[in-house]
Amino acid sequence: MKILRYITITAALFLITFSNAQDPIKISVQEEADAPIVSKHIYGHFAEHLGRCIYEGLYVGEENKIIPNTEGVRNDIIAALKELGIPNLRWPGGCFADTYHWKDGVGPQEDRPTIVNRWWGGTTEDNSFGTHNFLNLCEVLEAEPYLSANVGSGTVQELIDWVQYTNHDGISPMADWRRENGREEPWKVKYWGVGNETWGCGGNMTAEYYADIYRQYATFMPGWSGETEVYRIASGASEDDYHWTETLMKNVPHELMEAVALHDYAVFDWSDKGPSVNFDEEIYFKTMEQALNMEEYVTKHIEIMDKYDPDGKVDLFVDEWGGWYDAEPEVANGVLFQQNTIRDVMIAGTVLNTFNNHARRVKMANLAQMVNVLQAVILTDEEKMIKTPTYHVMHMYKVHHDAKLLPSKVEDNIEYRGLPVVSVSASKDEAGKVHISLVNIDPEKDVEVEVDISTLEIKKIEGNILTSEKLQDHNSFDNPEKVTPKEFKDVKLKKGKISLTIPAHSLIVLQGS
């Protein structure tokens, strides 16, 4: 009798355990003939005159004999960005753009006036890094320059002159001045932002007022670029300001506007953004809650754009995004300087998946920012330079550049405090290789997934993983390789289905061939 009772209890416990076990999350990935190309420009970057981003970061000056440089730009940063394959770079701001007068940054160094950076720390800059430095750097990197023009305190003529200076190959005052300053051929700058955050630091304008101002500026921009198409980007909404997007789409003729911008940072409290390293699980949750809002914002802004532009002539550019925390106090001139942890891996992975999946409209995005500011891919300390965890995300996701989107669907996604745990996007490159990027944001639990790729004729699967023991882990100047990608072997392919377990707080990119 005792033996029978023991067997019955054991069987019951087994059944309870079995019934409570989590079935694998089902994901399907398949080809669609009309699926869009994932533009490489989704993986763009942003460098603003802010803290140690330009000066003491990217640019150390041509007279620097300690740090190897090319025209004042650090050679180690150039090499790192080349390896990353950055497709575009936005400059000079940001809020700084609407106080910047480009003519102060060209010509002989000794003749250039100083500028007080009123937005970021009140520091005085000498304008030694200007238009030539930036555009020459973009040439070296083979990246498209994206110039953000001054509307808030500038003039229409000032912008016209900039377009003429950078793009006109004939005889004109600005083209002649460019030649006098040592540049014979025009740079052929395609991307132009017409103001920045005009609802805030760019002028505190209403949407209706800015729409009229934009029309004025945009009217005079073409005609200086020869065969180069001028791509005019309207200063767009912040987060869920759908009225702003609707006003622009309704009030601006679409032949005057090639793209509308959108800005969104993963900030849960602008007065207390929390630390970049010593955060707890509650702060992590709140940050990810904000980061995952990107899906809703992009979806709803696109719905408005589709309403007024069903043919998709106007693109959506998310030209500022990323994590934003309280600055590290011990860094001199460290305005908006923050460390970069596994939390930032989670932000970058999920947000980039969102952009990939909305590639029909999202044609450019710019991570904020490139060096020493916000969710930077590179940090510097005098002659030292390190690559952050976010750098490695961008490098792992290079496989999606200009690849064809493979629509994916997650069924019965489990939740972490109400947030979807698994994020996914997939694409197929010109060589026929399939890449699937997967993120598990749960801070503690591994997640089993099963990916149905039965229609893709994949015979071999391999992958890489980016994770670490703790969410707070990061790369430092003392330990620059703490968080780096590793080969991921615990993946199986059988009968058209991929089976794997995604460890807690980790990002995986699979390659099928």
- The H helix count followed by the E strand count for the chain is 11, 28
Catalytic residue among 56, 197, 258, 295: 197
Cα–Cα dist 55/61, whole Å:
8
Contact 92, 103 (CB under 8 A): no
Closest CA to 423 of 397, 461, 389, 457: 397
Cα–Cα dist 463/210, whole Å:
47
- Buried-exposed string 329-339: b where 16+ CB fall within 10 A, e elsewhere: eebeebbbbbb
Contact 268, 289 (CB under 8 A): yes
Sequence-separated (6 or more) residues with CB below 8 Å from residue 408: 27, 28, 29, 357, 424, 425, 426, 436
Contact 483, 392 (CB under 8 A): yes
At residue 225, what are phi and psi to the nearest 5 degrees?
Answer: -115, 10
Tokens encoding 116: 């007080």
Neighbours of 397 (CB within 10 A): 24
Q: Is 457 a catalytic residue?
A: no
Q: Is 320 a catalytic residue?
A: yes
Catalytic residue among 48, 125, 144, 320: 320
Cα–Cα dist 423/477, whole Å:
31
Neighbours of 25 (CB within 10 A): 22
Cα–Cα dist 238/199, whole Å:
8
Residues noted as catalytic: 197, 320
